Amino acid sequence: ARRFNDPDSEYKILVASDAIGMGLNLSIKRIIFNTMFKHNGDRIIQLDHSAVKQIAGRAGRRNSLYPNGEVTCRDPDDMAHLKKCMGTEIRPLTKAGVIPTPSHIAVFNEHLEEYDSSGKEIDLHTTLRKFSDMATLKGDFFLCREQSMEIVSRWLKDIKNMSTAEKFALCMSPVNESCTKSKNVLLKYVETYASGKVPGLHYSMQPRTAKTFDHLADLCMIHHQLELFLWLQKKLPSNAVEVMRAEALKERTIQMINSGLFKAEKLTLSYDYISKDVRIKKEWASERRGEEDEI
DSSP secondary structure, 8-73, as one string: TSS-------GGGGTT----BSEEEES-SEEE-SSSEEE--HHHHHHHHTTBS-TTSS-SS-EEEE
Helices 146-155 and 124-134, packing angle to 10 deg: 160
Close Cβ partners of 13 (under 8 Å, ≥ 6 residues apart): 4
Least confidently predicted of 38-42, 68-72, 129-133: 38-42
CA distances from 290 to 176, 243, 284, 287 (A): 25, 46, 10, 5
Least confidently predicted of 22-36, 47-61, 184-198: 22-36
**Residue whose C-alpha is closest to residue 190's, from 227, 236, 149, 244:** 236
> What is the pLDDT at residue 10?
80
Average pLDDT, stretch 261-268? 79
> What is the pLDDT at residue 93?
82
Average pLDDT, stretch 12-27? 80
Confidence of residue 266 (pLDDT cuts 50, 70, 90): confident
Confidence of residue 214 (pLDDT cuts 50, 70, 90): confident
Close Cβ partners of 247 (under 8 Å, ≥ 6 residues apart): 230
Confidence of residue 208 (pLDDT cuts 50, 70, 90): very high
**What are the E-state strand segments in the chain?**
30-33, 37-39, 44-46, 70-73, 96-98, 141-143
- Write down the pTM of the prediction: 0.75
> What is the pLDDT at residue 233?
96
Average pLDDT, stretch 124-128? 91
Average pLDDT, stretch 270-291? 82
Confidence of residue 192 (pLDDT cuts 50, 70, 90): very high
Plot region of 23 (φ>0 → left; ψ -120 to 50 → alpha; else → beta):
left
Question: Tens digit of pLDDT for each residue in 152-187?
Answer: 999 999 998 888 888 999 999 999 888 899 999 999
Confidence of residue 194 (pLDDT cuts 50, 70, 90): very high
**Residue whose C-alpha is closest to residue 208's, from 227, 224, 225, 222:** 222
Confidence of residue 79 (pLDDT cuts 50, 70, 90): very high
Q: Which residues pair with 33 in a beta bridge?
A: 73
The single-letter code of the amino acid at 184 is: N
Residue pair 221/178 in contact by the 8 Å Cβ criterion:
no
Average pLDDT, stretch 244-248? 96
* Interatomic CA distance for residues 39 and 49, integer angstroms: 16
Strand (E) or helix (H) holding 189: helix 180-194
The single-letter code of the amino acid at 63 is: N
Does pLDDT of 221 surpass 90? yes
Residue pair 251/208 in contact by the 8 Å Cβ criterion:
no
> What is the pLDDT at residue 61?
79
Does pLDDT of 41 surpass 90? no
Q: Which residues pair with 70 in a beta bridge?
A: 30
Of the chain, the percentage scoring pLDDT greater than 90 comes to 44
